[in-house]
Amino acid sequence: FTSSYILIINHTINFLLLYFNYYSKMPTIDLSNITDFVVNEGHGVKGLSEIGLQKLPKQYIQPIEERITTNTVILDDQIPIIDMSNWDIHNKFVSEKICNAAEKWGFFQIINHDISLEVLESVKDATYRFFKQPAVEKNKHSKENSSTNNVRYGTSFTPKAEKALEWKDYLSLFYVSDEEAAALWPCALRDEALEFMRNSEIVMKKLLQALMKGLNVKEIDESVLMGSKRINVNYYPKCPNPELTVGVGRHSDVSTLTILLQDNIGGLYVKKLDSDMWVHVPPIHGALVINIGDALQIMSNGRYKSIEHRVIANGNNNRISVPIFVNPKPSDVIGPLKEVLESGEEPIYKQVLYSDYVKHFFRKAHDGKDTVDFAKIN
C-alpha cells in the first residue's frame, strides 16, 4: 500500500510540474488593452486563441449589422462551378460560362484546372508551418520590423482604422522576382508559395483570355491586367463567441482577378448581386475560387462585377486560406477599356492611377463596395 501511495504522489507531483512549466510559459495579457500583445508583440489572434479565452475580447465584437445571421443567408443557391478540363476542346462553351459567372455572380469555382493536388496541399501545409512559429519569428516581418514593404505580417485589416477588429492573422507577399523572394520571403513557406504562384499563372491567363474576349478585346495587354501579383496566407484561429465577430469584414478585392485556395473548413460568404443576402462558398476538394476584382469591374465599365464577400469566425476549428491577387502595376492608369466604349457606351469610371486606388483601400476599414466609388465619375 505504501509503495503504491508513494507512486501516486510522484505521478501527481510530475503532472503538477509539467502543468506549471507549460502555463508559466504562456503569455499573460491585459484584456483591456490587447494591442501590445496582438499587434506590437506579434502574437496575433492566434496567440489570443491559444491562451484559452472563454470570452471574446470587446475589441473584436462587431456591430450587429456586420454579423451574418441565418436570416441573411441563402441556403439553396450557390456560385457557379466551372469544369476547365475541356478547355482546349470546348473553349467557346467554357469561356461563355466564365463570362456569364463574372457578370451575374462575380465569383465562381473552377475544377480540373491542372494545378496538382500536391502543389495545393503543399502550400496549405506551409501556411500552417509559418503560423506555428513563435511570435518573435513572425513579428520579424511586421510593418515595424520588416526589411521591405513587400513582406508584411499582420493581424486584422487596418487595426488603427477599425472600430472593431477582425479575427484573422496574415502574411502578405508582394512578388517582384524569384531573386527577391529567395532573399526576403520567410523560408517556412517561400518555395511552396512561389510554386503555387507559378502554377496559377497559366490558369489566370486562360481566365483573362476568356473574359477579354467577352469584352471584344482582341489584343490582351497582360502587363496591365496582371502586371503585379501578391500572395497572402491567412490564418483564422478557433474563436470564442464566433457569432459576435468576423474573420474578414465586407469588402471587394482591388485586384483584376483573385484566385483563392481554401481548406475544408468553410466560412467564405458572397453577397448575391442586387440583394442583401449571402451565399456560402462550400469547399470542394481540389477546386479554386475565382473572383472579379475592382480593377476589372472598372476596366469592363461595370459589366463584370467585383462582389462583396466576407469570412465568418469559427468556434470549433482553425481555418486557413491562400489567395493570389493578380493586379495592374502600381504605376498603371486604369479606366474603361476603349473596346468596351466603342459602341457609344458612356463611361461609368474615370481614369485613375492604380496605386492611388490601392492606397485609398488600405487606409480605411473594410466597408463593402465603397472603395469603387473612388473611381466613379461624379
Distance CA 78, CA 332 (A): 35
Q: Which of 278, 285, 291 is nearest to 246 (CA)?
A: 278
Distance CA 142, CA 130 (A): 14
Identify the three-state secondary structure at position 352. strand
**Per-residue confidence (pLDDT) for residue 158, from 0 to 100:** 79
Q: Would you call 197 exposed, middle or buried from its count of C-beta atoms within 10 A (0-12, 13-18, 19+)? A: buried
Distance CA 274, CA 296 (A): 19
**Per-residue confidence (pLDDT) for residue 6, from 0 to 100:** 59
| pTM of the entire predicted model | 0.89
Taking only the tens of pLDDT, the chain with its 378 residues reads 465 555 555 555 554 444 444 444 445 566 667 778 888 888 999 999 998 888 999 999 999 988 988 889 999 899 999 999 877 656 888 999 999 999 999 999 999 999 999 999 999 999 999 999 999 999 999 989 999 999 999 998 777 778 889 999 999 999 999 999 999 999 999 999 999 999 999 999 999 999 999 999 988 888 889 999 999 999 999 999 999 999 999 999 999 999 999 999 999 999 999 899 999 999 999 999 999 999 999 999 999 999 999 999 999 999 999 999 999 999 999 999 999 999 899 999 999 999 999 988 877 777 778 888 889 998
**Per-residue confidence (pLDDT) for residue 234, from 0 to 100:** 98
Q: Retrieve residue 177's grid coordinates.
A: 522576382
